[in-house]
Amino acid sequence: MLTDNAVSELVENMKIIFLGPIKKAEELLKGEVPILCHICENGKATPTELARKYSLSTARIATILNRLEDKELIVRVHDNKDRRKVFIYLTDKGKDFATVKINALHQHMNDLLNMLGEEDAKEYLRLTRKVAAYMKQQL
């Protein structure tokens, strides 16, 4: 069994690993970047889909989408068959912004794995796979 000190150290390390990069990008604190990246990777999304994926209320999603629309990063398009249904698409500006963020994340992860070296990087990937599997079971 882990000691309280080990658990505290893990919590502090996780804050640095996961919240450190977030503090550097204010857009992430607002929840905008993950939503932009999701739309970029999937081509389109609905507000309901985004709310479910990120465990946010539809009101919170609406606020984020309004900000993104004000920045001209997204457009909302009503479905031709059912006008109540709205699809969210990235504008060219939004695609460029999301692509830059995705590439920066990939570069950051590449730098991290290179810093670890081959053996530690493989171990890190093995452990993160194990943690990810556990977390999926918890959802």
Q: Provide the token pair at 94.
A: 């939004």
pTM of the predicted structure, to 2 decimals: 0.73
Partners of 74 in the β-ladder: 90
Domain ranges (residues) in the chain: 1-30, 31-138
Which amino acid is residue 75, in one-letter code?
V
Q: What share of the chain is helix, strand, coil (3-state, %, to 5)?
A: 75, 10, 20
Write the pLDDT tens digit of every residue in 34-68: 899 999 999 999 999 999 988 889 999 999 999 99
Correct CATH for 31-138 of 1.10.10.10, 2.60.40.10, 3.30.360.10, 2.40.110.10: 1.10.10.10
Write the pLDDT tens digit of every residue in 76-85: 999 888 888 9
The pLDDT of residue 99 is above 70? yes
